Amino acid sequence: MDRTLLFQNGWGKTIACAQDRVLIIACPARNIYRDGGLPTIQNRCESMAEEPKPQLIREKLDVCELDRARMSLLNPALIEQKKEERTIDENAKPILELTMREGIETVWDRYEMQQPSCKYCLAGISCARCTMGPCRIIPPNRIRGVCGADADLMVSRNLLDTIATGAAAHSDHGRDIAETLYLLGTGKTRDYAVADPEKLRKICKEFAIETDGKSPVQLAAGLGSALLDEYGMKRNTLRFLDRAPKATREIWDKLGISPRGIDREVVDSMHRIQMGVGADYVNILLQGLRTSLSDGWGGSMIGTEISDVLFGTPTITSSMMNLAVLKADHVNISVHGHNPMLSEVIVNAIADPEMQALAQKYGAKGINLVGMCCTGSELLMRKGIPMTGNHLNQELIIATGALEAMVVDYQCIFPSLPRTASCYHTLIISTSAKATIPGSYFFDFHAENAGLTAKAIVRMAVENFRNRNPARVIIPGEPVPVMSGFSNEAIKGALGGSFKPLIDLIAAGKIRGAVGIVGCNNPHVKHDYGHITLAKELIRRNILCVETGCAAIASGKAGLLRPEAASLAGDDLRAVCESLKIPPVLHMGSCVDNSRILVLAAELGNALNVPIHKLPIAGAAPEWYSQKAVSIGAYFVASGVYTVLGVMPHISGSPATVKLLTEGLNGVVNASFAVEPDPVKAAVLISDHIERKRTGLGI
Ligand code: BF8
């Protein structure tokens, strides 16, 4: 029986293997909590498990020559101009130039094709939620939609939708990690282990789980179950909220925005934006804050903490960054997305001598695993795996011609990647039933089949080395060294075991304060310019930067994650960094790891016995694009952290909403948003804010 054909039955059906024996059940809704362990059918097959085969989603995509000819630019001056306008990433520029010359479409081309933007959508005053519309607010006459919603309601509903979407994405990622812990604890996966038992015990204690006499695996089962309960439950509170300073929690309670369960807040939000439910924009925006808190202090924090338990709490580590980490004489595999469940087992599969021998058989010197976006940061932080780049680098890495496979899980993955890949030999391999991509090869990856699937993926990539055209390989420049791995535990370690020296340095004015620079790239902003300009301006003012996500990767590529970057800092911060041998910009991880920044703020607040909003700290998202970033910004502000955005959210059509978010929130959560596209001016806003907070603390 042809196994490949059977795999094309698709998910949700039982799939058979060559000897007519059932191999796996590829059902996304599989009942993993069934008592009594694995379904017998799976037990029976475990001993004879074979590597799964992928399913091509729909059909192989091909960008035709005519399309490429249409896209290609023949005017060298125009190519030069666009290249300089689009990015400050020097290693990306030659590849960007090539894409324009050869008509390989990128995000910047699509952005140009979408101009001018719809002004109603930009202002948030269009609504297509129901079929009485679609509606737009066009004063002076069309000031209500068909249902009666005015501009304030339309804008606030759209914003709540955005926050809930972002919170759901982060939190569902956290759920996948918690579920893996549970499956490990209940013996349903053998491909994962507890890497940080000390942290496991610490978190068990927070959840009132008895640890004495219990093995890590037993604790994994108990904690995994308790964590999954955080999503939908009757207790009406989240355990990790207890980490916040008491005064901050009292603000949430008084305002009625303490989250009651992770899924509950997302569902509550979806309910409110159903037509005929929420009608008061203030009520809707407050629910946005509550939902975002369920992400930051709930789903994201679970994602971070349990990833540390399973894969190790990051310690300070060195690596390399930018497109030049690709190797011309190696099989290159990039992992892209967010969930380390996949990338961690790929690391193991690559170390398999069988895979290394296979690579050599095909003429490669070895297998080079590289990271991209947040999955890349997860590997960089814990394993020192080199990183190619951030969000807007994802098509360019394919255009180097040196990539055998781009292995993706979910979030921030351009649906266009298979189109780009079709111009080369690169395979796009998708692995999440939530994120199948037409033109990609899909493996139904989950914790129970992780090891075998990872090996199948690596084999596929290695075998694809034969198809590479060496004449098309361009790997520009040299990689930049980076220092990463700054978990809170690692920062404390560097400070001698506690945050006290950091507090003393802040009190003494050697460090004026700390700023979390987070978020994405966005073609509205020159690639990496917002991040780098802001970070340089802040460290020059002796303000420490802690970074995550694509902001941290931008800093890595620009050399700000090297201890030598201390030379760009003000005298006081430079002296601190030199004595500790650390950079002035600290890479704290992926986007879910913004929860590390919350924990840092909480620990500083608890140490000083003040709420978070009194600390000399701020947040910034100079190039944000994603719904997840809106959730992050909202939980920063709701937690008391003044946050400056570099890109205007789609809210300008409701002056009342703008006023509430930029001023009114100060009266309730003691923090607000600001929008400032110019990163030099944003640095001034942030610096002034930090000085005001210092004055408030009397330091
Ligand atoms: O979660 S920073 S572009 S990769 S959304 Fe995406 Fe933004 Fe990058 Fe990670 Ni976060």
Give the pLDDT score at 48: 55
Query: What's the CA gap between 628 and 391, in Å, rounded?
Result: 14
**Which residue's alpha carbon is at the smallest distance from atom 1 of ligand 1?**
591
**Strands 513-517 and 617-621, how do they pair?**
parallel
pTM value? 0.93
Q: How far does the centroid of ligand 1 lie from the alpha carbon of residue 195, in Å?
A: 26
The two tokens of residue 202 are 């610490």
Average pLDDT, integer, range 119-131? 97
644 and 693 inside one domain:
yes
**Band of residue 667 on the pLDDT scale cut at 50, 70, 90:** very high
37 and 75 inside one domain:
no
Which atom of ligand 1 is nearest to 518's Cα? Answer: 2
**Band of residue 74 on the pLDDT scale cut at 50, 70, 90:** confident
Q: How far does the centroid of ligand 1 lie from the alpha carbon of residue 591, in Å?
A: 6
Q: How far does the centroid of ligand 1 lie from the alpha carbon of residue 547, in Å?
A: 12
Average pLDDT, integer, range 308-324? 98
Give the pLDDT score at 24: 34
Average pLDDT, integer, range 210-232? 97
Top pLDDT among 214 and 59 is at 214
Which atom of ligand 1 is nearest to 592's Cα? Answer: 1
Which atom of ligand 1 is nearest to 412's Cα? Answer: 6
Give the pLDDT score at 56: 95
Q: How far does the centroid of ligand 1 lie from the alpha carbon of residue 10, in Å?
A: 30
Mean pLDDT rounded to a whole number for the chain: 93
Which atom of ligand 1 is nearest to 548's Cα? Answer: 2
* Percentage, residues of the chain above pLDDT 70: 93
Which atom of ligand 1 is nearest to 170's Cα? Answer: 1
Q: How far does the centroid of ligand 1 lie from the alpha carbon of residue 306, in Å?
A: 20
The preferred substitution site among 372, 394, 628 for testing ligand 1, maximizing ligand atoms within 8 Å of CB, is 628
Average pLDDT, integer, range 110-119? 97
Q: How far does the centroid of ligand 1 lie from the alpha carbon of residue 678, in Å?
A: 21
Average pLDDT, integer, range 105-129? 97
Q: How far does the centroid of ligand 1 lie from the alpha carbon of residue 550, in Å?
A: 6
* Residue 688 in this model has a pLDDT that exceeds 50: yes
* Residue 26 in this model has a pLDDT that exceeds 70: no
343 and 304 inside one domain:
no
Which atom of ligand 1 is nearest to 628's Cα? Answer: 5
Which atom of ligand 1 is nearest to 390's Cα? Answer: 8
Last residue of a domain, one of 453, 472, 491: 472
pLDDT digits (tens, 9 = 90+) for 146-184: 999 999 999 999 999 999 999 999 999 999 999 999 999
Structural domain containing residue 8: 4-50
* Residue 44 in this model has a pLDDT that exceeds 80: no
**Which residue's alpha carbon is at the smallest distance from atom 7 of ligand 1?**
520
Which atom of ligand 1 is nearest to 338's Cα? Answer: 9
Which atom of ligand 1 is nearest to 519's Cα? Answer: 2
**Strands 22-26 and 13-16, how do they pair?**
antiparallel
Q: How far does the centroid of ligand 1 lie from the alpha carbon of residue 551, in Å?
A: 9
568 and 642 inside one domain:
yes
Give the pLDDT score at 183: 98
**Strands 405-408 and 387-389, how do they pair?**
unpaired
254 and 361 inside one domain:
no
553 and 631 inside one domain:
yes
Average pLDDT, integer, range 370-399? 98
Average pLDDT, integer, range 90-116? 97
604 and 517 inside one domain:
yes
The preferred substitution site among 172, 591, 595, 627 for testing ligand 1, maximizing ligand atoms within 8 Å of CB, is 591
532 and 576 inside one domain:
yes
Give the pLDDT score at 583: 98
95 and 167 inside one domain:
no
Residue 296 lies in a domain: yes
Q: How far does the centroid of ligand 1 lie from the alpha carbon of residue 525, in Å?
A: 15
Q: How far does the centroid of ligand 1 lie from the alpha carbon of residue 589, in Å?
A: 11
Query: What's the CA gap between 255 and 250, in Å, rounded?
Result: 8
Average pLDDT, integer, range 297-307? 98
Residue 128 lies in a domain: no
pLDDT digits (tens, 9 = 90+) for 572-622: 999 999 999 999 999 999 999 999 999 999 999 999 999 999 999 999 999
**Band of residue 481 on the pLDDT scale cut at 50, 70, 90:** very high
* Residue 358 in this model has a pLDDT that exceeds 80: yes
pLDDT digits (tens, 9 = 90+) for 613-656: 999 999 999 999 999 999 999 999 999 999 999 999 999 999 99
* Residue 35 in this model has a pLDDT that exceeds 60: no
Give the pLDDT score at 47: 43
CATH of the domain at 394: 3.40.50.2030
Which atom of ligand 1 is nearest to 626's Cα? Answer: 5
Residues forming beta bridges with residue 367, ordered by sequence position: 331
Average pLDDT, integer, range 351-373? 98
The preferred substitution site among 165, 374, 630 for testing ligand 1, maximizing ligand atoms within 8 Å of CB, is 374
Last residue of a domain, one of 283, 311, 339: 311
Which atom of ligand 1 is nearest to 551's Cα? Answer: 2
pLDDT digits (tens, 9 = 90+) for 429-465: 999 999 999 999 999 999 999 999 999 999 999 999 9
Average pLDDT, integer, range 505-528? 98
CATH of the domain at 283: 1.20.1270.30
Q: How far does the centroid of ligand 1 lie from the alpha carbon of residue 247, in Å?
A: 31
Q: How far does the centroid of ligand 1 lie from the alpha carbon of residue 261, in Å?
A: 24
Number of domains in the chain: 5
**Band of residue 301 on the pLDDT scale cut at 50, 70, 90:** very high
261 and 212 inside one domain:
yes
Give the pLDDT score at 12: 34
The preferred substitution site among 336, 531, 550, 592 for testing ligand 1, maximizing ligand atoms within 8 Å of CB, is 550
Q: 190: Cβ–Cβ under 8 A, 6 or more apart, which residues?
A: 451
Q: How far does the centroid of ligand 1 lie from the alpha carbon of residue 397, in Å?
A: 17
Q: 192: how many CB neighbours lie within 10 A of its CB?
A: 19
Which atom of ligand 1 is nearest to 629's Cα? Answer: 5
Residue 555 lies in a domain: yes
* Percentage, residues of the chain above pLDDT 90: 90
**Band of residue 49 on the pLDDT scale cut at 50, 70, 90:** confident
Query: What's the CA gap between 264 and 255, in Å, rounded?
Result: 18
Give the pLDDT score at 27: 35
Residue 530 lies in a domain: yes
Q: If DSSP codes are grouped into helix, strand and coil, which group holds residue 580?
A: helix
**Band of residue 522 on the pLDDT scale cut at 50, 70, 90:** very high
209 and 189 inside one domain:
yes
Residue 77 backbone phi and psi in degrees, to 5: -65, -40
Which atom of ligand 1 is nearest to 624's Cα? Answer: 7
* Residue 538 in this model has a pLDDT that exceeds 70: yes
Q: How far does the centroid of ligand 1 lie from the alpha carbon of residue 148, in Å?
A: 36
Q: How far does the centroid of ligand 1 lie from the alpha carbon of residue 376, in Å?
A: 11
* Residue 285 in this model has a pLDDT that exceeds 70: yes
172 and 81 inside one domain:
no
Q: 223: Cβ–Cβ under 8 A, 6 or more apart, which residues?
A: 181, 185, 200, 203, 204, 207, 209
Please answer whether residues 629 and 520 qualify as being in contact, where contact means their C-beta atoms are separated by less than 8 angstroms: yes
**Band of residue 297 on the pLDDT scale cut at 50, 70, 90:** very high
pLDDT digits (tens, 9 = 90+) for 229-278: 999 877 889 999 999 999 999 999 999 999 999 999 999 999 999 999 99
Q: Is 117 exposed, middle or buried (0-12, 13-18, 19+ CB in 10 A)?
A: exposed
**Which residue's alpha carbon is at the smallest distance from atom 9 of ligand 1?**
374
User: For the residues of 337-400, what is the DSSP string, one character each?
Assistant: SS-HHHHHHHHHHHH-HHHHHHHHHTT-S-EEEEEEHHHHHHHHHHH---EEE-GGGTTTTGGG
Residue 327 lies in a domain: yes
Residue 615 lies in a domain: yes
Query: What's the CA gap between 188 and 133, in Å, rounded?
Result: 49
**Which residue's alpha carbon is at the smallest distance from atom 6 of ligand 1?**
412
The two tokens of residue 147 are 């249902």
Give the pLDDT score at 41: 35
**Which residue's alpha carbon is at the smallest distance from atom 4 of ligand 1?**
373
Residue 107 lies in a domain: yes
Q: Which residues line ligand 1 (CB under 6 A)?
A: 338, 373-374, 390-391, 411-412, 519-520, 549-550, 590-591, 626, 628-629
Q: How far does the centroid of ligand 1 lie from the alpha carbon of residue 272, in Å?
A: 27
Residue 125 lies in a domain: no
Last residue of a domain, one of 451, 472, 493: 472
Average pLDDT, integer, range 19-29? 34
Q: How far does the centroid of ligand 1 lie from the alpha carbon of residue 421, in Å?
A: 21
Q: How far does the centroid of ligand 1 lie from the alpha carbon of residue 394, in Å?
A: 12
**Which residue's alpha carbon is at the smallest distance from atom 3 of ligand 1?**
520
**Which residue's alpha carbon is at the smallest distance from atom 10 of ligand 1?**
591
Top pLDDT among 236 and 550 is at 550
